[in-house]
Amino acid sequence: MIFGPRTVDVTCMVDIEQTPESLHAHAIPDGIDIRPGDRVIVHGAPTEVRFGDHVTLQCRATVIRAGWLKRLWTRKTSLFALSELYEVGFQRGT
């Protein structure tokens, strides 16, 4: 398709940790740069990790490339989305 999304299937390193030191989940596709507006769908990653566990595994992933218009839109609107994070704060309870 000329105007439709382009998909690429790749392997993906998945790193999930839920310990007292860290709570994170990273999915890093191998051999491809993720650009603004692209989407990554990871296949076969665990949906739960028990507290105290750290899991690292290889999965398959599908990268859905954004077209030029979506890429431009994402670049322009990302600054506004980032500024929403500035609204987060901690307030003393009363």
Distance (Å, whole) CA 26 – CA 30: 13
Each residue's pLDDT tens digit in the chain (94 positions)?
Answer: 456 569 999 999 999 999 999 999 999 999 999 998 999 999 998 888 999 999 999 999 999 999 889 888 888 887 777 666 665 555 665 5
Is 67 among the domain residues? yes
Task: Please tell me the predicted confidence (pLDDT) of residue 63.
Answer: 94
Task: Please give the helix or strand (H or E) that residue 74 lies within, else none.
Answer: helix 68-84
Is 32 among the domain residues? yes
CB 64 within 8 A of CB 7: yes
Is 1 among the domain residues? no
Is 14 among the domain residues? yes
CB 40 within 8 A of CB 62: yes
Task: Please tell me the predicted confidence (pLDDT) of residue 1.
Answer: 45
Distances, alpha carbon 35 to alpha carbons 29, 32, 38, 52, 90, in Å: 12, 9, 6, 33, 33
For 18, the domain range is 6-87
Is 94 among the domain residues? no
